[in-house]
Amino acid sequence: MTRPARLTGAALCAALVLTAAVWILKDLAALGSPADLAWYWAGDRFFLARGRAATSLVDPVLLVVSAAAAVAALRSRHAASALAATGAVTLALRLPGLWAPDSGVLVTALLELALAAGLVLVAAAGRRPANAPYEPLPGRPRTGAAVAAGVLLAVAAAAVAGWELYWASRLPAEITVDRFTGGRSVVKAPLGPPPGWLAAVLVALYATAAASAFARARHTRAFGLLAGALLAAHGLAGTAGAARSGILERLADLPEPYRSDALTSLFGLLAGVAVLALLAGRGAPAASPAPYPPAGVLPPPPPHPRPPGW
């Protein structure tokens, strides 16, 4: 990417970080302590009687991801894919805020959607021109690490899709629709996406990252690390909630849905950490550029006058 495009992408990411930080600080003031807010993000609604937080687990994850994308935009060969992945996922997760009844949430959604669209445009239009000095291309992941990460992400996508189909078969049709649109029957944080919508975004992200990993594409690292971060965060939240309520201690005595939910959260935590470890390492060594000129470029003219024996 060009230097102006890198600086623009880093500035847009910094604006996303600042927006999320303002809401998180506001929720800290409402709930009283970081531990209370963390348990709220994990799904514990005991604090609703004292105050309702506007953020969800998605917000701290997007804050960390946006900060990492800002650093990548300035220093990494993976800058374009990092900006594109951050922008695309932010667009998908913030879109339901456009029909939120709260004016503050609506303004935040419009701002973040504009910033995310800017990230995608910068990633697409900020490429270096063909006559620019040579810069190494982003490396591809190693084959073993890519295949292992792809398998874990594919299983995670199937698990999220399976749970959504399970709830669709058990809940009335109007509640199923509300899970995607954020209707009145769904209790959620104002900034958080509806649970069904979030599940659809996660399935699309995990499947895209898995396909990229199997193909060993150059953008695998950006999309895979983002998918791994969301997978690990949701797995950690579910596992912490299950441990706090004693579900893990009596796992064998619980009905099948509760046991499967706890095991899915534990798998998400372990798989997310594994994906982060597999894709954060050094990629495959890049092939050295050919010493010959590109195809179609004529060789330099012979010297004049020509030396003897030319």
What is the rounded CA–CA span in Å between residue 145 and residue 280?
10
Confirm if 83 and 73 have CB atoms less than 8 A apart: yes
Three-state secondary structure along 44-82?
CCHHHHCCCCCCCCHHHHHHHHHHHHHHHHHHCCCHHHH
Q: Backbone phi, then psi, for 206, in 5-degree steps? A: -60, -40
SS3 content of the chain, % helix, strand, coil (to 5): 70, 0, 30
Structure tokens at 272: 């997310």
Which helix (H) or strand (E) element contains residue 244?
A: helix 220-244
Angle at 30 (CA atoms; ends 178, 198), nearest 5 degrees: 25
What are the pLDDT tens digits along the chain (310 aa)?
A: 889 999 999 999 999 999 999 999 999 988 888 988 898 898 876 655 455 789 999 999 999 999 999 999 998 888 999 999 999 999 999 999 998 888 889 999 999 999 999 999 999 988 776 555 556 677 788 899 999 999 999 999 999 999 999 999 999 999 999 999 988 888 888 999 999 999 999 999 999 999 999 999 988 999 999 999 999 999 999 999 888 888 888 888 888 888 899 999 999 999 999 999 999 876 655 554 445 555 555 666 766 666 666 6
Confirm if 193 and 234 have CB atoms less than 8 A apart: no
Confidence (pTM) = 0.87
